[in-house]
Structure 1
């Protein structure tokens, strides 16, 4: 009798965990869609393709301000200022303090491996990434990938006067819990 009750309890706990995880994923996708719709609406109202911000470009913390398109994955993702859990629940997080397109320095975008950056491991050298902001659209070509410790902080640094786009997510991709490593993608502006 005790073993039957124990098995029943384990099944209930397991089902509860699966329901919670499913709810979290749906909740994140909902917020991501809402943020993306707001950003796309805002970008469609912006004037022209100036490619240089008309004023200092300083999005507010938690604010959606642009999109990241990954053509190979057929993804258009919202970019939100900040990389804390609340920001990352809305989309790709721009690491505060790093640069923006045309500012000739390092731009760092972070995302969850199981939501926005779910298939970035499929990307290869030469694949393109496109950032769209209210002051223009900017294409980057992937140069390399690397895997580093989660403790590694030297990937975020100034690259002035050279512009570099860096995407970062947890690794391994299918790890349960806090992943011990980070998967980094480095891209440079397209020279077309």
Structure 2
């Protein structure tokens, strides 16, 4: 009888312990659920990313070397612009002041260099280097040769904009070449508009 009594006490003790554990577990889950529900509906939830896990974009650029180790100085020749449609090869100078534009095609200093991701902007006079640019249009190719390599672009869009339109130099999500000159081509005096070629990088051959 004493043995049975001891066994009964042990069973009652374990039953009590199990009841306490079940009560603790259920109330903890309930608290977690209620907290998560409230945070979700009040917009206070946050996704915390491990500091050791870089973003996908960063992972893709970890081993990317810059195309140009040295940035050009103003007035420096940075390469050539080839326009196959016109059988023309034109020198490109860093800068778009009259000093550069008198010598050839000017590269807008605040834009990226040819081949780099973003918008590389070139300009030239309609009565000198770009006097036949109106013959170049959608689907034609533009090739830029620099110290970094040879970059081939395909014209995607032709625009005619006001001379003060600043959308010509806005950043682009991919490697883009924007070529600008005054318009109309036969206009006498200061032209009111600009003829714009927007081209996407399609191939590159690095040096």
TM-score under structure 1 length normalisation: 0.69
SS of residue paired to 1:154: helix
Is 1:136 the counterpart of 2:136 in the alignment? no
Q: Following superposition, which runs of at least 4 residues in structure 1 exceed 2 angstroms of deviation?
A: 51-54
1:103 alignment counterpart: 116
Q: Which runs of 5 or more residues in structure 2 are unaligned?
A: 1-64
- Does the Cα contact within 8 Å between 2:67 and 2:116 map onto a contact in 1? no
**How far is 1:103 from its partner?**
2.0
Segments of 5+ residues of structure 1 without an aligned counterpart are 1-50
1:187 aligns with 2:199: yes
Q: Who is 2:130 aligned against?
A: 117
| Residue 126 in structure 1 maps to residue 139 in structure 2 | yes
- Larger-Rg structure: 2
Structure 1 residue 102, shift from structure 2 partner: 3.4
Match of 2:67 among 53, 56, 62: 53
Worse-superposed segment, 147-156 or 110-119: 147-156
Tell me, in whole angstroms, the C-alpha distance in 2 between the residues paired with 1:54 and 1:147: 32
Could you tell me whether the CA contact under 8 Å between 1:66 and 1:79 is conserved in 2? Answer: yes
Higher relative contact order (CA closer than 8 Å, sequence separation 6+): 1
Residue 84 of structure 1 is matched in structure 2 by 97
**What is the number of equivalent residue pairs in this alignment?**
140
1:173: how far off? 0.3
Q: Secondary structure at the match of 2:168?
A: coil
Q: Would you say the 8 A contact 2:119–2:170 is kept in 1?
A: yes
| Deviation (angstroms), 1:151 | 1.2
Task: Return the alpha-carbon distance in structure 1 between the equivalents of residues 96 and 182 of structure 2.
Answer: 13
RMSD of the alignment, in Å?
A: 1.6
2:179 maps to: 167
Give, in whole Å, the separation in 1 of the partners of 2:121 and 2:83: 15
TM (norm. structure 2) is 0.64
SS across alignment from 1:98: coil
Whether the 8 Å CA contact 1:52–1:102 is kept in 2: the answer is: no
Match runs of 1:64-79 below 5 Å? 64-79=77-92
